Every structure is written in structure tokens, then in C-alpha cells.
Structure 1
Amino acid sequence: MALDLLVVLIYAAGMLVLGYYGMRKAKTHEDYLVAGRNLGPTLYMGTMAATVLGGASTVGTVRLGYVHGISGFWLCAALGFGIIALNLFLAKPLLKLKIFTVTQVLEKRYNPMARQASAVIMLAYALMIGVTSILAIGTVLQVLFNLPFWLSVLLGGGVVVVYSTIGGMWSLTLTDIVQFVIKTVGLMFILLPICLYRVGGWDELVSKLPASSFSFTTIGWDTIITYFLIYFFGILIGQDIWQRVFTAKDEKVAKYAGSVAGVYCIVYGLACALIGMAAHVLIPDLANVNNAFAAIVKQSLPDGIRGLVIAAALAAMMSTASAGLLAASTVLTEDLLPKLRGGKQSSLGINRLFTCLTGIVVLGIALVVSDVISALTLAYNLLVGGMLIPLIGAIFWKRATTSGAITSMALGFVTALVFMFKDGLDANTPIYYSLAIGLISFIVVSLLSPRPANVAIAI
């Protein structure tokens, strides 16, 4: 394992060096938050794909493949289709707005109060996105190097906090493109072929698993629908993803490079599900299925190569962790902090300070949460349940009012929390009931409120 550890340490050092170069490029507030709105197709595609495919997508999809077979790919597929839809249909109007956060759209359509209310929900979502990937980093380091979990979280997460803090979006972009290459090579071109070889080839995989493992619906239609309700729509309104859209040089870059990133996410999901299926054959009695990814890496790969694949997994996790971290700090500095400072806008120094503080909070939460998919589900339930209806209403319904939007946000958010507590994080009821109550309250309160004077469609 010494050689593997050396490879991982070299990778971590490389991320810090790229963070330093990002710091040198981040000379203005706009550079720090959206990379100067100047990314070309290669950087944009890499950073978009790297942002979406993180800890839950990698570790979680391998786990789903282990349990459900090929149908475990639907989690990544929902994310991929969301990326395609966002870049094809929303990127063009979003780029024209020259904004930094999702919640600024709500302010343009409703009023500043709607922006503040939605910012609280977005902050909770972004924090949990960061926590999810930090958790995955900790899990992998713990299993593979036999480190205490708390130390794994602090070491792996600490690297993310440092490079995110010093260079902001430029550091994230530079690290993302390298992480994109590493995880593509490590997972698709090394781990997957070796796993299939260890099993004995495709024919052996087919013969050793039940036929249900090769059905795309084994995971259940209710789960597939829930994944689309949560992750597809979550991508369409998530601050971490919108912030990447804002980095595109123009609408053509977003449209074409973003669509390629979405297709990549779907293929990545298929690869991870197949890795999980191979793991089920090679390690049929795994005590904790959450460790399926780490276990198959530990058992199947030789020294050195194992380290490269670990680096690939960490690349996937760190890219999403840094995206959630910067998204949370951006919401704080752009939406919430100015309210406390009498409208005074944040500076580059303030941005760096709050990114660091947000990183410390994310590390703290990661030390007390355990399941990566549950953490991701919590984040998306809160986001979609609280914000999807008011945001769609802001765009398409001229009769929508601020009172209706804020009521919908509050009731949708609370409903999601109540049903997650009542039925569990893996239940479908939180998203169904939060959307239903959010929609009803939005329509009813809007119709009972005075017709808005400003009925301009936001985007």
C-alpha cells in the first residue's frame, strides 16, 4: 500500500499546485466566482461533467450496481439528462442575465424577500452536496488505507477546502479538468476492464448473475421516477450547476459542450454499475454494501495501479465537493451577507474568507453523517421540494406572486423535512408530498394575493 499512498499523495499535491495557479488567475470578484465568464468548450465540458459526477455518483452507483445490477445507472442517467436539458434550453437566457446565483432570478421576478428565503434553502442544499462528497472521500481513504474515519475526512476534505479557498472558480476549473481526465482513465479504462477480466469476461458475468441484474428496470419504476424528480430537476435549479453555466464564454459553448458532458454522465453511470455488478460476483458476501467500491478496488488491483484508481475516485469526489463548497459560500456572500452589511457587496477577500469558513462547516457536518446517497437525497429533496415550484412559476406564470413563492418555499421545505424524518431518507414520500403541497400553496396564495405589478418573465 506504500506505493498506492505515494500515488495519492502526488495527486493531492498536484491539486494544491493547481489551486495555487487558480489563485494567481483569480484577480477579481468575477474571476473568483465564475472564472471571468470566459471558459471555452474543453474546460467547460470537463468542469461541468466533473461537478456532477462526485462521491454519490461514483461510490453510490457502484453500490447500486452491486445491489440492483445495471439498473443502478439511473442515478447518473437522471443527472446526465438534467445537464443536457439545462444546457440546451436554459443556458442561453441564463448567460444573458450576468448573475452569480439562482436566487437572483427570484429577486428579479418577485422581490428581495424571495431571494433571501430561497437563499436559505439553496445554502442547505449546497452544504449537503459538499458533505456528500467529503463523506465519500473519507470512506475510500478509511477502507483502503485503514485510517480512522475522522482523519480520512479531515485529510481528504482539507485538500478540497484549501484549493477552493485560495483560487475559487479558477482553481476549481483547473483541478476539474485534470480530475475529469484522471477519473475517466482510472474508472472506465482501468478499473472496469480489470474487474471484467477478474470475473472471467462478459459471458462469465452474465452466467454468474441473475437475469434481473441485466434489466434496466430492476431497481423499480418508483425509484427511477423519484431519481428524475429529485436529480433531473435538481440539476435544473442547483446553484453548483448554474454557477458552472455562468462560466461559459458564450451560449454555443454551453449548448454543445454541456450536452457532451451530459452524455458522458450517462456512460459513466453504466460503467460504475458494471463495476458494482463485477464486485457482486467477486465479493458476494460484502458486509457493508456502501463499501462496495473501496472493496473491489482493494481486492482486484495491483499496487500502484490501485493508487491511480483511488486517485480517480478522489478526483470525482473532490470536484463535486469543491463545487458544493463554492456554491454555498457564493450564496452566503452574494445573497445573505449583503443584507447584513446594509447592501454592501462582497469583495475578493470576503469571498475567500467565507469559502474557508464554509469549508470548516462542511468538514464538521461530514464527521457526523454516514451514508453518501442518503446525504445526497437529503440535499436534493430540500432543493427540489422547496424551490422547484416557485422557480418554474417565476419563469412561466405571470400571475405568480411573492407571497405565493415564499409560502411554497417554506411549506415545501418543511414538508420534505417532515417526511424524511417520518419515512426515512430513502423514501419517495418526501419529494412527492413536498412538491404537491408546494404547488397547491403556490397557486392558492398567488391567486388570493393582489396581482403583481411587475409581470416580466425572469428568464
Structure 2
Amino acid sequence: MGTLDTVIIFLYFAVLIGVGIIGSTKAKTTEDFALAGRNLGLFMYLGCLSAVILGGASTIGTAKLGYEFGLSGIWFVSMIGLGIIVLGTFFIKKIAKYKVTTISELLGKKYKSEARLITAVVASIYTLMVAVTQVIGMGTIINVLLGWNLTISMFVGGGIVLFYTILGGMWSVTVTDIIQFVVMTVGIFAIMLPMSIAKADGIGSLLSKLPESHLSLTSIGYAQIFQYFLLYTLGMVVSQDIWQRVFTAKSPSIARKGSLYAGLYSIAYALAGSIIGMCAFVILPNIGDTQNTFATLALNILPAGILGLVLASVISALMSTASGTLLASSTLITNDILRQYFMKDISDKKFLVISRVTTLCAGLLAISFAVWIQDVLVALDVAYAILSGAIFVPVLLMFFWKKATPNAGFYSILASTIVVIGGLLIEGIASTNPIMYGIATGLVVLVGISLTTNYRNKESLVTPLGDTKQG
């Protein structure tokens, strides 16, 4: 990569650091730090929600799938978009009735404190694992582009994200997400997509050169599409990093509209990424590692200056997801574990300090895991599986079935978590069956205990025959 492109990326890093410093002046309370004061308008809400759901995996992964499977590569990110649309259409109006900070806090209100604790543990592990994958992605890209040692690259990328997240919390994350949303949109839709198509001699020539299987929407396989649905559509509905963005909206109407638009944007992003991958298949038919499809194509077709902007857009996607999930993980730990069990009477000012320290610890842990493991796709799939399999049913019935009881919700989450983990151990982490086992277990346990409890309560209210009171 040339000097000009390197300068552009470093300038981009400098802007993000500057935003973190400015954001520190905005975050005066824990609500400011966690939820940006619940005051975001439609554009800012749409930008930060889109930025957090479309991480590096969405950009790099969709180009890879487009290279390997053609149009069928859209399903990965499209299912993420569908999950956001479902959340906005069916859940946000009900969520808005409760002024909470986390999904586990809401489950604790409906069910019992133990349900809040177990959900916080599961969700914080999931969000931390997502942050780890983004740190690995940032390190890999910086390593390839600048030639730095991989470990140093991870510390630099992760360190910048950690810096602005600690200082300004959700305020810094929101402003950087808007910047990253704009950079992502310009980089993918205005530069990379049209230049890829042009390099492939136009859409007509591209379609004529592709194998027939690349023009099918189902060549990736129905089983894989269904797995994406279970992991990502259901996962988005119960994901803390997404809910935390929902809570930042100024009104339920903004949250609903923004979620719908973000879902549609994700589907468009999936299509663009798949087409870019298809162009790479025609232009560079012998890419050895298809994981590098996007970066390899960019290095081959983009001129100096433009290349730096487009690669900054990929780093943007990684950083926005990393910051959002890192903040979500620390919020779950501070709000639902530390404050709930150890710091009930702490002042807001002191708790803000605790929130920043917890974010620092979570960030250092994420960077350390990234350096140590360097491939956490397996862990990410497991985290998504537990999230979807164990939490989706209790959240769904919490809103749409009034007979759910507190004990039933807790035991449903506990039993489903055990079943999903057991299923993954027995059948392997590639299997989708454990998610369905978990969903089925959660439904049976929650409905069964609720109906039994309600029946016993009714029976206890009935006066036995012949038992009369003399007045």
C-alpha cells in the first residue's frame, strides 16, 4: 500500500481519537455513558445501528461468500437485516414501555433476579466474543496493509477502539459510528461496487462469465440458510448490543423506523458485498484464501488514495462493531451484576468511574483473547447458538404471553442453556440442532411450569365443598 493510502488511514485513526476526547465531555452520567442520554434522532440512530450490525465479518464474509456461491452469499447479512426488521416491527413498541438499560434487566423485571443474572452472564460472554473477532479482523487488516507484526496490529486497532469507548461511552461510540456509517456507505456503494463491476466489463459481461450456480439464490444450501436464520435472525432479536442501540432512540417511533431502515440497508449491503465477490471471481479466479477476497480485489483495482478510503471503510465496520459490543459487555457486567449484587447504594458519579474501569478491563480481556486465540469463529458460533437457543423464547413469551410466571422464565433459560451446550458438545459446533433443542426445551419448560403454577394458584383460591363460614 502506498504512502498516500497509509496517510489516509492514519488520519482516520486520528479523527476517531479526537472524537473520543470530545465525547468524554458529554458523558457526565451513567445513562449518558451507556445510552447517550436516550436522545438520538432518526439519522444518528439509523447510522449507529447500521454500523454496529455490519461489522468486518459482514463486509469480508459476504465478499467471500459471493466469491464462492454467487448471489446466494446474500443470506448471511440478509438474515441479520431480517432480525433487525423483526425487532423493529414486533418488539420495540413493547420494549419502550420499560425504561431499562439491558435485556437481562428487563428479563429480571418480568421473571426473577436469577433470570437477570444468568442472562447477563450469557449475553456478556457473547458480546465480548464478538468484540474479540473484530479485534482479530482489525489486526489482520493492519498487518496486511502496513506490514506490522500481527500482535502489535491487534493492540493498535483494539487500543484505539478501547480509548474512545472508555472516554465517551455511547456518546463517543455514536459519533464514531456516524463517521463509520458514512465511510462504509461511500466505500462500498459509491466506490468498491461500481469499480468492481466496471473492472468486470459491466453487469452483462459479469453474468455471462459466471457459472450458473453463482446466479442461484439457493446454491449455498437450504441447511446453511436455515442456520443463518437461527443464529442471526433470532440472535439479533435478543442481542444486548442491538438493544442498547434501541434504548438510545429519542422515541419509540424513531426506534421503529430506524430499525426498519437499518434492516433494509443491511439487505442492500449484503447484495453489494455478494456482487463484489462475484466480480472478484471473474477478475481474480485463482485467489488462494477466499477470506482475502475483498482486500485482494481492492488492492488490484483501486488507485492510490481511493484504496486507503475503501480499506478505511472495512476498518470502520470492524471498529464500530467492536466498540458497540465492548460497551454492551461492560454495561451488562456493571448494570446487572456489579450494581445488582455488590454496589446497590453507590452514587452515580462513582458508578460512572466503575463503568469506565469495567470497560477498560473488558477491552484488555478482548485484546488478550484476540492475541491468544487468533481465530474465534467457533466461539462466536457457540455464543450465538446459546443466545438464540436459550434467550429467544423467554423474551418472546415475555411480551406475547401474559401467563408466563417468574419461576418458569428462569428455569426455561437455565434448562435451554444446558441443553444447547450439551447438544453442541455431542453433535458438534457446526450443527444447528442444538439451537432447535434449546428453543423447544425453553418453550416446553416455560409453558409447562407457567400452566402448572397458574392451575395450582386457581385451585388454592377455590373453597372446598362443604367448607362454609358461620357469621
TM-score (norm 1): 0.93
Q: Which amino acid aligns with 1:239?
A: Q
Is the Cα–Cα contact under 8 Å of residues 121 and 386 in structure 1 kept in the other structure?
Answer: no
Q: 1:367 aligns with which of 365, 371, 374?
A: 371
Describe the SS at the equivalent of 1:25.
coil
Describe the SS at the equivalent of 1:174.
helix
Which of structures 1 and 2 has the bigger CA Rg? Answer: 2
Return the offset for 1:206.
1.3
- More deviation, 144-153/355-364: 144-153
Q: Which amino acid aligns with 2:323?
A: S
Query: Structure 2: which 5+ residue stretches go unaligned?
Result: 458-471
Is the Cα–Cα contact under 8 Å of residues 223 and 428 in structure 1 kept in the other structure?
Answer: no
Q: Which amino acid aligns with 1:363?
A: I
Q: What is the distance in 1 between the residues matched to 2:422 and 2:283? A: 40
Is the counterpart of residue 33 in structure 1 residue 34 in structure 2? Answer: yes
Q: Which amino acid aligns with 1:265?
A: S
Return the offset for 1:324.
0.4
1:221-370 matches, cutoff 5 A: 221-345=222-346, 347-370=351-374
Partner deviation per Cα, 1:180-223 (whole Å, 9 max, x = no partner): 00010011111111212222221222122111111111111222
Q: 1:385 aligns with which of 377, 386, 389?
A: 389
**Structure 1 residue aligned with 2:469:** none
Q: What is the distance in 2 between the residues matched to 1:420 and 1:324? A: 24
Q: What is the distance in 2 between the residues matched to 1:16 and 1:375? A: 30
**Structure 2 residue aligned with 1:202:** 203
Is the Cα–Cα contact under 8 Å of residues 38 and 248 in structure 1 kept in the other structure?
Answer: yes
Q: 1:405 aligns with which of 403, 409, 429?
A: 409
**Structure 1 residue aligned with 2:182:** 181
Return the offset for 1:447.
4.5
Return the offset for 1:370.
4.2
**Structure 1 residue aligned with 2:215:** 214
Query: Structure 1: which 5+ residue stretches go unaligned?
Result: 454-459
Q: 1:417 aligns with which of 403, 415, 421?
A: 421
**Structure 2 residue aligned with 1:434:** 438
1:20-169 matches, cutoff 5 A: 20-169=21-170
Relative to structure 1, the CA distance from residue 388 to residue 351 in structure 2 (aligned partners, 3 Å threshold; closer, same or farther) is same
Segments of 4+ moved more than 6 angstroms: 450-453
Q: Which amino acid aligns with 1:102?
A: I
Q: What is the distance in 2 between the residues matched to 1:432 and 1:370? A: 29
Return the offset for 1:357.
0.8
**Structure 2 residue aligned with 1:456:** none
Describe the SS at the equivalent of 2:102.
coil
Relative to structure 1, the CA distance from residue 48 to residue 451 in structure 2 (aligned partners, 3 Å threshold; closer, same or farther) is farther
Relative to structure 1, the CA distance from residue 207 to residue 378 in structure 2 (aligned partners, 3 Å threshold; closer, same or farther) is same
Is the Cα–Cα contact under 8 Å of residues 386 and 413 in structure 1 kept in the other structure?
Answer: yes
Describe the SS at the equivalent of 2:97.
helix
Return the offset for 1:449.
5.1
Q: What is the distance in 2 between the residues matched to 1:422 and 1:7? A: 49
Q: What is the distance in 2 between the residues matched to 1:110 and 1:328? A: 22
Relative to structure 1, the CA distance from residue 297 to residue 423 in structure 2 (aligned partners, 3 Å threshold; closer, same or farther) is farther
**Structure 1 residue aligned with 2:460:** none
Return the offset for 1:114.
1.1
Number of aligned pairs?
A: 453
Partner deviation per Cα, 1:322-377 (whole Å, 9 max, x = no partner): 11000000000100112442523562111111111111111122223445754543
Is the Cα–Cα contact under 8 Å of residues 386 and 434 in structure 1 kept in the other structure?
Answer: yes
Is the Cα–Cα contact under 8 Å of residues 72 and 218 in structure 2 kept in the other structure?
Answer: yes
